[in-house]
Amino acid sequence: MNKRGLKKQIERKLEQLGELLDEVDEIRNIDSDDPETWDSDTLYNALEVLKEILQLLEDKKALDKKDEFGEPLILEQGICSLVDEYQLEEEISEDE
């Protein structure tokens, strides 16, 4: 994939990540010393949001399909892999 396509994918996923992190910030309203602020709904929501964050960061892999090396087939790259690929493209273009 070219750098422009990678950049767009990374930007889109980082925007989603930022929105999810804003949702996690609600936990800061819970005071460990004040049972009145303890809210299980907020905690369960944070759990779901954190799962979504992990999904954005990690590659989505097919459990039943393997690549030529016997590794699970990557269905969609996560932010970490996209950034690695982008930086590799940057290094290659600098060397040219």
DSSP E strands, 25-87? 60-66, 72-76
- This prediction's pTM: 0.80
- Residue 70, token pair as written in the block: 């016997």
Q: pLDDT > 70: what percent of the chain?
A: 100
Residues 46/24, Cβ–Cβ less than 8 Å: yes
Pairwise pLDDT comparison (27 vs 5), residue with the higher score: 5
Structure confidence at residue 24 as a pLDDT band (50, 70, 90): confident
Q: For 10-34, what is the mean pLDDT?
A: 91
Residue whose structure tokens are 């690549």: 67
Q: Where are the domains of the chain?
A: 3-95
